[in-house]
Amino acid sequence: MSGDAAAVLTACDPAFVLEAERGLALSIEARSRVEPREAWRWLAMRIARQPYDLRAHAQRVRLLAETGEGSRLFGALVDLFLVLGDKGRELRGALLALARPALDPDDHAWLQSHLAAGLPRETGLPFALGSVVAHGAYGSGPLVSGQAVAAAPVAEPPAGDPYADDPFYVPPELKA
């Protein structure tokens, strides 16, 4: 059997391999059969469907930490923190410590500041690439502010103008 044929036999859809994984880290066999990118994408989809699957959260965080995907790792940790709220401090702390080398220092500091009390859903969140649980910005704020401006007078067409009914009427003095 050629190398290409063997690769086809060992390559597999992530669902068939990762669904059977029972550890908090992916096994060597699973890693050999599924590309890391496909694995963390599948785990993200699983978490989007089943946000309380803590095993999938742990597998995703560990995989992203090992592959050095710092920005997506932050999103995965935000997902875990949101799902757990103020629960699971030990799990949140252990995975944050494991992820520290791959995380941006500011992202790590932000998560560390929310480790003790947890991350309530109404917390204003920074941008978290790859997060599947966060639903964007929470809260409210003024989008536009400024002064009220008086409306310009509306030009009326002169009497007898054939274009008087035209909704796009432009007075002759304004035509260029």
Instruction: Give domain status of residue 151, yes or no.
Output: no
pLDDT tens profile 60-105: 999 999 988 888 999 999 999 999 999 999 999 999 999 999 999 9
Q: What is the mean pLDDT of the chain?
A: 80
Domain count, the chain: 1
pLDDT top residue among 168 and 45: 45
Average pLDDT (99-117) is: 93
Residue 5 has pLDDT above 50, yes or no: no
Instruction: Give domain status of residue 68, yes or no.
Output: yes
Instruction: Give domain status of residue 85, yes or no.
Output: yes
Count other Cβ atoms within 10 Å, centred on residue 14.
20
Using CA atoms, how far residue 75 sits from 47, 142, 173, in Å, is: 12, 26, 57
Give the number of C-alpha atoms closer than 13 A to the C-alpha of residue 55, restricted to the C-beta side. 8
Q: What are phi and psi of 61, to 5 degrees?
A: -65, -45
Instruction: Give domain status of residue 176, yes or no.
Output: no
pTM here?
A: 0.68
Instruction: Give domain status of residue 148, yes or no.
Output: no
Distance, CA of 9 to CA of 42 (rounded, Å): 20
Contact status, residue 48 vs residue 70, Cβ threshold 8 Å: no
Q: How confident is the model at residue 163 (pLDDT cuts 50, 70, 90)?
A: low
Instruction: Give domain status of residue 159, yes or no.
Output: no
| Residue 89 three-state SS | helix
Instruction: Give domain status of residue 83, yes or no.
Output: yes
- Expressed as residue numbers, the domain containing 55 is 3-142
Instruction: Give domain status of residue 82, yes or no.
Output: yes
Strand (E) or helix (H) holding 83: helix 70-84
The percent of residues above 90 in pLDDT, for the chain, comes to: 38
